[in-house]
Chain A
Amino acid sequence: MTDLPRSAAAVGAAPTSFDRLFDEEYARVAAIARRVLGDPAAAEDVAQEVFLDLHRRFGDTPGAQAPAWARTAAAHTALNMIRTNRRRAAREHLYAAEPDASHDPQAVVETAETTKAVRSALARIPKRQATVLVLRYSGLSYAEMASALGIGVNGVGTRLRRAEARLRKEIGDASI
Chain B
Amino acid sequence: MHPSDGTLRRALDEPMAIAAAKREHVASCSRCAERVRRISADAGAVQAMLRTPSTGIDVVAARARLARTEAASPVQRPAKRLRLHQRSGRTNRLVAGLGVALTASVVLVVSGGAQDFLSLFQPSRVAAVPVTASDVRSLAGLASYGSVAGGSSIAFEPEPDAAAAGLAAGIDAPVIGDIPAGTTGAPQYAVVSGGVVTFTFSKQPAEAAAARAGGQLPPLPDGLDGSTLSVMIAPAVVVSYGIDPSSFLRSESLPSGEAFVVVKTQTPTVTSTGVTVQQLEAYLLSVPGIPAGVAAEIRALGDPTQTIPIPIPVDLASGSPVSINGVSGLLIGDSTGLGSAVIWQHNGVVYAIAGTVTSNEVLGIARSTR
* A149 and B163 contact, CB distance less than 8 A: yes
The majority secondary structure among interface residues of chain A is: helix
* B172 and A26 contact, CB distance less than 8 A: no
Question: Cα distance A157–B18 when bound, in Å?
Answer: 11
Q: Cβ of B162: which chain A residues have Cβ within 8 Å of it?
A: 1-2, 4, 150
Question: Cα distance A53–B191 when bound, in Å?
Answer: 14
* A142 and B46 contact, CB distance less than 8 A: no
Q: Cβ of B168: which chain A residues have Cβ within 8 Å of it?
A: 57, 69
Residue from B42, B51, B163 within 8 A of A68 (CB atoms): B163
Q: Which of A15-30 contact B (CB under 8 A)?
A: 19, 22-23, 26-27, 30
Say which size band chain B's interface belongs to: 35 or more
* B66 and A22 contact, CB distance less than 8 A: yes
Residue from A55, A159, A176 within 8 A of B70 (CB atoms): A55
Q: Cβ of B54: which chain A residues have Cβ within 8 Å of it?
A: 31
Q: How far in angstroms is the closest Cβ of chain A from B69?
A: 6
A52-B66, A155-B6 in contact; A137/B164 too (CB < 8 A)? no
Tally A residues with Cβ within 8 Å of B. 66
Interface string of B67-87 (1 = CB under 8 A from A): 001100000110000000000
Q: Which of A126-175 contact B (CB under 8 A)?
A: 128, 133-134, 136-137, 141-142, 147-150, 154-165, 167-168, 171, 173
* B6 and A154 contact, CB distance less than 8 A: yes
Q: How far in angstroms is the closest Cβ of chain B from A48?
A: 6
The interface-forming segment of B9-17, B194-202, B349-357 is B9-17
* B46 and A167 contact, CB distance less than 8 A: yes
A-B pairs with CB below 8 Å: how many? 157
Interface string of B184-219 (1 = CB under 8 A from A): 001100000000000000000000000000000000
Q: How far in angstroms is the closest Cβ of chain A from B361?
A: 18
* B167 and A65 contact, CB distance less than 8 A: yes
Q: Cβ of B59: which chain A residues have Cβ within 8 Å of it?
A: 22-23, 26-27
Q: Cβ of B13: which chain A residues have Cβ within 8 Å of it?
A: 136, 142
* A176 and B49 contact, CB distance less than 8 A: yes
Q: How far in angstroms is the closest Cβ of chain A from B47?
A: 6
Q: Cβ of B21: which chain A residues have Cβ within 8 Å of it?
A: none
A56 at the interface (CB under 8 A from B): yes
Residue from A66, A134, A163 within 8 A of B167 (CB atoms): A66
A76 at the interface (CB under 8 A from B): yes
Q: Cβ of A56: which chain B residues have Cβ within 8 Å of it?
A: 76-77
A3 at the interface (CB under 8 A from B): yes
* B161 and A156 contact, CB distance less than 8 A: no
B4 at the interface (CB under 8 A from A): yes
In the complex, what residue of chain B is closest to A118 when comparing beta carbons?
A: B49
In the complex, what residue of chain B is closest to A99 when comparing beta carbons?
A: B53
Q: Which of B1-46 contact A (CB under 8 A)?
A: 4-10, 13-14, 17, 39, 42-43, 45-46
* A157 and B10 contact, CB distance less than 8 A: yes
B299 at the interface (CB under 8 A from A): no
Residues of B within 8 A of A (CB): 4-10, 13-14, 17, 39, 42-43, 45-55, 57, 59, 62-63, 65-66, 69-70, 76-77, 160-164, 166-168, 172-173, 175-176, 186-187
14 interchain pairs, CB-CB under 8 A: A2-B162, A2-B172, A2-B173, A4-B167, A34-B55, A35-B50, A44-B62, A48-B66, A69-B168, A134-B50, A137-B51, A154-B6, A160-B9, A161-B6
Residues of A within 8 A of B (CB): 1-5, 7, 19, 22-23, 26-27, 30-31, 34-35, 38, 40, 44, 47-48, 51-53, 55-58, 63, 65-66, 68-69, 72-73, 76, 101, 114, 118, 128, 133-134, 136-137, 141-142, 147-150, 154-165, 167-168, 171, 173, 176
Given contact pairs A30-B62, A149-B163, A157-B10, enumerate 10 new A-B contacts (beta carbons under 8 Å). A4-B173, A72-B160, A72-B161, A141-B14, A150-B173, A154-B7, A156-B10, A157-B8, A164-B45, A176-B48
